[in-house]
Amino acid sequence: MNQVTFKGGSHPPQFKELTKNKPVKVAEAPKEVVIPMSMHIGAPCKPLVKRNDHVYIGQKIGEEQGFVSVPIHASVSGTVKAVEERQHPNGNLVMSVIIENDGLDEFDPNIEVPPDYTTMEPQEIINHIKDYGIVGIGGATFPTHVKLTIPEDKTVDTVILNGAECEPYITCDDTLMQENPELVIQGLKIIMKAIGVDKGYIGIEDNKPEAISIMTDAASNEPNITVVPLKTKYPQGAEKQLITAVTGREVPSGGLPADAGVVVNNVGTAAQIAKSFNTGIPFYEKLVTVTGEAVSEPQTLSVRLGTPFQEAIDQAGGFKKEPGKIISGGPMMGVAQFTTEVPVIKSTSGILCFDEEQAQLPEPTDCIKCGKCVEVCPIRLQPFQMSAFALQNDWDECEALNVMDCIECGSCSFVCPAKRPLLSSFRTAKRSIAKRGKK
């Protein structure tokens, strides 16, 4: 097997054995779901329902606003209890529709199975993808229909599905590829048809040999689709690193994958597209790896969107010890939560529960300029130098050292022997520089 990768990177411990190769458990639908009107990058949706309205699964409850926006649908049938601001996993209060589940799981009667995608025009496919509320579920929640609408001045010849899943602990993509390889392949074919390309790749880190072999079998009758085993190394699943590993191309600084002739989608996004095209039912449930040392029965669950974290954790047996930190996503790039009331949204890949001991990070000491951060940076930045300037609020020097190219993978902070908060200083620098640029 030809194994490809990128330069730099690190090897954080995997911790995937907690949930690896355990079958997906379909979680019981919660009594109440909290559906934020913003589960994508772009303008939030306008709520279409009000208190006491009855809704069905798949019914549109949030109207998209503008091009970079997707509609939002109900994930349970029942009664709207409130439309109000609730805590969102991104840390903000966001207008949300709270639905009381009637337990009947009735689907919207207006749902129709669409015609076979092979008979559709590309634009029709893209419109359907938008109507199904599909966004990139790998993390960025960029609306998929926008990604698939290639600007006229760009030529895309390759689609890559991201099955790298380089975040420690998280195994939902691995599980998906093992259980539903046909959905992944079908989704990839729909995407390829939508943008009119005939080269499709599925990149998978080689710590998932089962997924690689199952996906390779599933793709054996597809001459245009190649499964690419990738070296297990963080951040192999970062978009730019994946593109470089698979195609040898680089995304220009400040540019998009399309500038390198590539469109990247998560395997989960592809499977969701296939599911919606097969049933006509919009995006309403997803796979979430509930894991970590504080969880009784770590496993990958299929949960309804809007399920509160606490509910999902309870479905995984609840806490076996006092949790110290709850992270939405993986330990390298996930977002720490201050409450378990936040809901599962379209990009929630995992709910990681650390115990008290793991929750506490070591105190930083002085930088010894060992250069470990330089070695691991997948963008070839000089993190220790940038951080010294960032801590003095010297944004000009930070910008000159290309801090804006930082992909925030966290490899530098992870390896640092002095335990310095390198990435968080870059986040501050990037935000300040972006703000300054707007003035």
Partner 1 sequence: MEEGKKLWVSSSPHIRSGLTTQKIMLDVLIALLPAFGVSIYVFGLPALLITIICVCTCVLTEYVIEVLKKKPITISDLSACVTGVLIAFNLPVQAPWWMCIIGSVFAIAIVKQLFGGIGHNFLNPALAGRAFLLASWPTRMTGTSFIPVDAMTEATPLGILKQGLDAPLPSNMDMFLGFPGVYGAIGEISAVALIIGGLYLIIRGIISWRIPTFYLLTVAIMAFAFGEDVIFQLCAGGLMLGAFFMATDYVSSPSTPIGQIIFAVGCGLLTMIIRKFGGYPEGVSYSILLMNCAAPLIQKYTQPRVYGKPKKKGEAVNEG
Shortest distance in whole angstroms from residue 273 CB to partner 1? 28
For position 195 contacting partner 1 by CB under 8 A, the verdict is no
Kindly indicate which of the ranges 92-100, 195-203, 269-277, 324-332 contains the residues binding partner 1, using the contact rule CB under 8 A.
Answer: 324-332
Q: What does the angle CA 408 – CA 404 – CA 168 come to, to the nearest 5 degrees?
A: 10
**Min dist. Cβ of residue 370 to partner 1 (A):** 5
Q: Are 251 and 239 in contact (CB under 8 A)?
A: yes
Q: What is the smallest separation between the CB atom of 91 and partner 1, expressed in angstroms? A: 9
Q: Are 74 and 58 in contact (CB under 8 A)?
A: yes
* Selected binder of partner 1 within 56, 117, 142, 354 (CB under 8 A): 354
CA–CA separation, 147 and 141 (whole Å): 11
Total residues belonging to the chain: 439
Convert residues 370-389 into a mask of x (bound to partner 1 by CB under 8 A) and - (unbound).
xxx-x---xxxxx-x-----
Segment lying near partner 1 (by CB under 8 A), choices 20-28, 56-64, 190-198, 337-345: 337-345
Interactions with partner 1, residue window 164-193 (CB under 8 A): 168
Please state the closest distance from residue 248 (CB atom) to partner 1, in A.
Answer: 9
Phi/psi at 245 (5° precision): -65, -45
Q: Give the other-Cβ count within 10 Å of 206's Cβ.
A: 17
Q: Strands 299-304 and 285-291, how do they pair?
A: antiparallel
CA–CA distance, 18 with 25 (Å, rounded to integer): 15
Nearest-angstrom CA–CA distance, 243 and 225:
15
User: 393: exposed, middle or buried (C-beta count within 10 Å: 0-12, 13-18, 19+)?
Assistant: exposed
* Closer CB to partner 1, 75 or 328, in the complex: 328
The smaller minimum CB distance to partner 1, of residues 115 and 417, is found at 417
Instruction: Give, as one character, the DSSP assignment of residue 314.
Output: H
3 state DSSP class of 289: strand
* Structure tokens given for 411: 């490899």
Contact between 333 and partner 1 per CB under 8 A: yes
* Cβ closest to partner 1, residue 276 vs residue 337: 337
Q: For partner 1, which residue of 22, 65, 405, 433 counts as binding (CB under 8 A)?
A: 405
- The residue from 66, 322, 437, 439 that contacts partner 1 (CB under 8 A) is 322
**Which residues, in sequence order, are bridge partners of residue 343?**
308
- How many residues in the shown chain lie near partner 1 by CB under 8 A? 68
| Residues at the interface with partner 1 (CB under 8 A) | 10, 12-13, 168, 240, 244, 249-255, 260, 310, 322-327, 331-340, 352, 354, 358-362, 365-372, 374, 378-382, 384, 402, 405, 408, 410, 413-419, 421, 423-424, 427
